[in-house]
Structure formats: structure tokens, C-alpha cells
Amino acid sequence: MKKKIFLGIGALLALLFIWRIAGLIFSGDKGSNGRPSRPPVAVEVDTIRHAAIREIGQFTGTVFPEYQYILAPKVTGRVNEIRKRIGDWVKPGEIVVRIDDAEYQQAVAEAEANLKIAQASLAEALSQFELAGQEKERVESLQAKGIASPAELDAAVTNYSAQQSRRQLAQAQVEQREASLKSAKIRLSYTVLAASEPGYVGERFVDEGALLAPNDPIISILGIDSVIVRTTIIERDYGRIKTGQPVQVMVDAFPNHEFTGKVSRIAPMLQEASRVAQMEVGVLNDSSLLKPGMFARVQVVMAAKDSAQIVPSQAIVNRSGETGIFVVNSADKVAHYFPVTTGIVTPERTEILSPMLNGLVITLGQHLLEDGSPVLLPQQNPGHQPTAGGKEQRK
């Protein structure tokens, strides 16, 4: 008997529980759309502002000198003197290196002597040519009077032609000796090496006494009044950067100093393997703080607007390929979803091109929301008060 009573009570309790659940589902509190209301979601919000926005491209590269060249001999010889060391300033035309020139001095003296011999031979040939011409004229005059025979005239003409050829040969030998002397003097000049452009000595490869072959490097000279920062840009950014755009350059050696430059060159092609293009940034280096070989960070303004409708970037949501945001009015505390068209995007802020929005934008918790979801707003911060127009005042 007791067992039946307990079973009856249990069945009654089960019916009461089922009735209560059904009542909550079908006749309990409902939202405005007829669906059961959801509990409010705690969110973080921020104001929709109108302010300036800039998209800055970040690139890394290396500092190079504006120009760099190496002093190297064109002749073989032993180094007698190097007047500069690393870091020394070199003026244009300043003599930096001297090579032992005894052998080349001797070659010049020998060439001068050979030239004198050739000039003497030329003088003798000119004299003989002049005599042959006079003899030819005399025989031609006598032959016209019938005194000289045709054989004498032929001999005089032949001798004149021979002396003319000898004179031409002697003239050619003089020109050859002059060229040899000039070559000897040029080789002698190669024993003195001077700077062609001003700059600092970057490297010194040998010391005095070293025996050098032609083109062996001695020192390198760098021009760093202006420097070049070489970096690369990816295909996505290639069309957004133009020559002449202003650039900010920073290096680890001077973390609190920004150097101003501009895009000077962009390669007309992208490398097939990496899909990047070379870019050069010219930077005026009056202070000489930037040194070749430094690692540089380059910032280029890709896009900028003085006034734009902006929201924090963390407010942007993507649902089924659509970009949107949740906006809430502090009066009704209900989240409303708006599809948006974005413009300039930065890690911190995003430009909203359309639609024009009012209210507060939800920046945290929006992944739990749907259009029309109730929300719990954070307590009003006395130091952060939204004002008309979507701007904020800070005390």
C-alpha cells in the first residue's frame, strides 16, 4: 500500500515539474520577437569618433652609403705609404696611397731617351729629303735644257721618293716613341692613388710594405652625407607606394630618434621566387648618425584622412563573410548589428565608410551577441564621458 502511495506522489511531482517547464517555454517571459528572452551579456563599449586616421606600412631594411668605392692600384708594386686609417675623412683629390715608383721612373727615362733618338733620326731624314728635292729640281731643269740625260732624271726622282719614305718612317717612329713615353708616364701616375670623391675610410685592407697586384683593394671610402635604406615591398603594397612619399626611419642604435626621408626608387619588377620588389629610401644624414650596415625600420604612410568615422579595430566582427559591428544605445541597452563598409584599417582603429552610426560600439563580448540581444553596460567611468557627435572628453 505504501509503495503505491509513494509511486503516486512521485508521478504527481513529475507532472508538476513537466507542467512548470512547459509553462516557462510556452507562456513565460518572451522577447519582442516572440522568442524566449536571453540573459543580458556583459560587454565593453567605446564611442564612435570622427578623427584623423593614417595607415602606416612597416618595413625593415639595411642602411647603405650613398656611394662607396675602393682604392686599388692598376699596376704591380709595393706599398710605400698609406696616409689614412679607418674613420679618417678624405677630401676629393687628396693623395691617400703611394706605391714604389722606381721601376716606373726608369721606364719614363728610357722612353724619353728613345724619343730623343727618334727625333734625331727624323731631323736627319728631313735633311736628306730636302737635299733630294733640290737635286730632283736641278736635274729636271738640266733635262729641260737638254743637258741631263733621262737616266739622271730617273735616278733623281727615285732618290727623292726614297728620302720621302724615309722621312715618313722617321716621323712615325717619333710618334711611336711619344706614345711610349705617354704610356710610361701614365703607369708612373698609377703609383699615386688619390680620392675621387669625399668620404670616410670604411675599411683598410693592407698596410705599408705589402706587395700588390693590379686591382688588389687597399682602402674603401664611403659617402654618408646621405644614405640609402634598401628594403622590399610585397605585391599587395606595390601599387600603394610611390616615389617621393615621405618616410620615417628608425634604427636600434638611436631608438628615440626618427630620421626623415622619402621613397627614392622602386624596382619595376617583382622577384618571381619571393614576390617582392626592391625599394630604396633616401635619407639626409647631416648628423652622420646613420651608418652603413645598420638595421632599419621604415614607416611609410600608405593612406591618410584628416577626418573619418572610426571605431576600435577590435569592434569589427566577421560573420559568414560579412563585416559588421554591434552598436548599443545606452538608453535601451540592446545590441544592434550593422553591416559596414570599411576603409583605412590599422591595428588600433578602423574607418567606417558606411553607414553613418550613432551610439556606442561594442568592443568586447560581441561574439556572444545577435541582433537585438540585451547587454549589460559597464559602469560609467567619470573620466570617460561620451559627448554629442560621438567624441569623448577626458578630464
Q: How high is the pLDDT of residue 143?
A: 77
Place of cell 560573420: 319
> Would you give the DSSP letter of residue 105?
H
Q: Are 61 and 298 in contact (CB under 8 A)?
A: yes
Note if the bond before 374 is cis, omega within 30 degrees.
no
Q: How high is the pLDDT of residue 17?
A: 59
Lowest mean pLDDT among 44-58, 305-319, 367-381: 367-381
- Residue 24's pLDDT band (cuts 50, 70, 90): very low
* Mean predicted confidence (pLDDT) in 148-168: 84
H helical segments located in the chain: 2-27, 102-144, 150-189, 235-238
Distance CA 256, CA 248 (A): 12
Q: Are 324 and 317 in contact (CB under 8 A)?
A: yes
> Mean pLDDT over all residues of the chain?
86
* Mean predicted confidence (pLDDT) in 8-17: 62
Q: Are 120 and 177 in contact (CB under 8 A)?
A: no
How far, in Å, are 1, 214, 247, 301 from residue 79 at the CA level? 125, 12, 45, 52
Please state the CATH superfamily assignment of the domain spanning residues 59-66+224-303 in this structure. Efflux pump adaptor protein, beta barrel domain (2.40.30.170)
Report which of 326, 299, 321, 301 is spatially closest to residue 311, judged by C-alpha positions.
326
* Mean predicted confidence (pLDDT) in 157-178: 90
Say if residue 394's pLDDT is above 70. no
Digit-coded pLDDT (tens) for 271-328? 999 999 999 999 999 989 999 999 999 999 888 888 999 999 999 999 888 999 999 9
Q: Are 247 and 299 in contact (CB under 8 A)?
A: yes
Residue 31 corresponds to which cell in the numbers above? 522577447
Q: How high is the pLDDT of residue 3?
A: 56
Q: How high is the pLDDT of residue 1?
A: 53
Q: Are 343 and 351 in contact (CB under 8 A)?
A: yes
Q: Are 234 and 247 in contact (CB under 8 A)?
A: no
* Mean predicted confidence (pLDDT) in 37-47: 83
Distance CA 357, CA 49 (A): 10
Digit-coded pLDDT (tens) for 254-263? 999 999 999 9
Indicate the helix (H) or strand (E) that contains 323.
strand 322-328
- Residue 8's pLDDT band (cuts 50, 70, 90): low
**Which of 51-60, 179-188, 236-245, 363-372 is predicted most confidently?**
179-188
How far, in Å, are 20, 347, 375, 389 from residue 314 at the CA level? 42, 8, 18, 21
* Mean predicted confidence (pLDDT) in 228-247: 93
The full set of domain ranges for the chain reads: 33-54+307-394, 59-66+224-303, 101-190
Strand 295-312 to 349-354 pairing = antiparallel
Lowest mean pLDDT among 21-30, 86-95, 243-252, 355-364: 21-30
Distance CA 83, CA 204 (A): 11
- Kindly report the backbone phi and psi dihedral angles of residue 104, in degrees, each rounded to the nearest multiple of 5, phi listed first: -75, -30
pTM reported for the whole predicted model:
0.66
Residue 335 corresponds to which cell in the numbers above? 545590441
* Mean predicted confidence (pLDDT) in 112-120: 93
Distance CA 40, CA 333 (A): 9
Q: Are 29 and 37 in contact (CB under 8 A)?
A: yes
How far, in Å, are 41, 152, 372 from residue 331 at the CA level? 16, 136, 14
Distance CA 79, CA 240 (A): 53
Q: How high is the pLDDT of residue 71?
A: 95
- Residue 36's pLDDT band (cuts 50, 70, 90): low
CATH no., domain 33-54+307-394:
2.40.420.20
